Amino acid sequence: MYISTMQVHLKKYTLPLKHTFSISRESHDFQDTMIASLTLNGQTGFGEATSNPYYKITVENMMGEIGAISKEIEKLEFTTPEVFHAFLVSKGLSNFAICALDLAAHDLFGKLLGKPLYEIWGTSIENYPMTNYTIGIASIDVMLAKMQEMPWPIYKIKLGTADDVAIVRELRNHTNAIFRIDANCAWTAQETIFNAPLLKELGVEFLEQPLKADDWSGMEEVMHHSVLPVMADESCILESDVEKCALHFSGINIKLTKCGGLTPALRMIKKGKELGLKVMVGCMTESTVGISAIAQLLPQLDYVDMDGALLLKSDIARGVHIEPNGKVIFPKLAGTGVQLL
């Protein structure tokens, strides 16, 4: 029996992490996440958004926001994810809540058409960038143990301590992998300019968001003097940020939760490329639901950080799978290819 009205279902999960994860702002052992599902005509699409203290997002708040308009969603005629996204924006939902529903809408759309999203978007998965694996801030011994546990060709190293260059120098003694450095807004312009040549010598590929998100004059200085490319993360949240970032950064790191899902991310990628920016998509510590959505964008990206599910002790879904050598295995299933376990 086919149902003509769309059904919305929300569920909270607490994802256990393999290790305590620390960045310059916070540490945690568990990650709360919300899985949204949209069911129509016998098909179900899944989407995800995690809680985030920096942006004051909780699963409870997101569920409340969506719950308040769920009756309206169920009455909507579902045509395309873009039209659905515009409706969610018009309702004033937070981008994190919009993201979960937008990913579910794209997954549903693909499943109704019987095609994976990358195919619907006219791209091929023959060539794609390899994800990095993230090493959070910890003592050197712990950081090294994490690298030995997960031998990987590219590491993203979270910094923002008093000894950042010394940490990288020590890690370099133990691996030939490419390094990317994410200081999570912890450095000044002067520190960034000073650290860049030292880090370049240590095989660092680029720096991510070294300065506070609103330090545009500092970033201008960095762009004139840094010997390493600098990617925007916290400075590039919304579609409207892309243009400003083009004058202050070498590239942008788009996070689906922050911008509001695949719909705006696709437009941001297009805009970034037009402006000559390198384009990267990053993840949260999230399940295979969110990671499988990011993976659909792979052929359009220069860099990707989609190791979120690799950081989990146990996952809640099947979908796109990353092999130990970094190879990405796409499921046979349409949409984002997600099935909840």
**Structural domains of the chain sorted by starting position, each given as residue range(s) with its CATH number in brackets:** 7-119 (3.30.390.10), 122-340 (3.20.20.120)
pLDDT at 79 exceeding the cut of 90: yes
Average pLDDT value for residue range 325-332? 95
Using a pLDDT cut of 70, give the percent of the chain over it. Answer: 99
pLDDT value for 238: 94
Average pLDDT value for residue range 303-331? 96
pLDDT value for 4: 64
Q: Give per-residue pLDDT as tens, 217-253.
A: 999 999 999 999 999 999 999 999 999 999 999 999 9
pLDDT value for 26: 75
Q: Give per-residue pLDDT as tens, 307-320.
A: 999 999 999 999 99
Average pLDDT value for residue range 56-82? 97
What are the backbone angles phi and psi of residue 83, rounded to the nearest 5°?
-65, -40
Using a pLDDT cut of 90, give the percent of the chain over it. Answer: 94
What does the block give as tokens for 135?
């090493």
The conformation of residue 42, written as its DSSP 8-state character, comes to: T
- pTM of the shown model: 0.95
Cβ–Cβ < 8 Å for 248, 220:
yes
pLDDT value for 1: 36
Instruction: Label residue 22 by pLDDT band (50, 70, 90).
Output: confident
pLDDT value for 5: 86
Average pLDDT value for residue range 277-299? 98
End-to-end alpha carbon distance in the chain: 24
The conformation of residue 53, written as its DSSP 8-state character, comes to: G
Instruction: Label residue 2 by pLDDT band (50, 70, 90).
Output: very low
**CA-CA-CA-CA torsion sign (229, 235, 237, 240):** negative
Cβ–Cβ < 8 Å for 143, 174:
no
pLDDT value for 247: 93
Average pLDDT of the chain to the nearest whole number? 96
pLDDT value for 99: 98
Strands (DSSP E) along the chain, which ranges? 7-22, 27-40, 43-50, 133-135, 154-158, 178-182, 204-208, 230-232, 251-255, 278-282, 303-305, 317-318, 321-322, 328-329, 339-340
3-state secondary structure of 330: coil
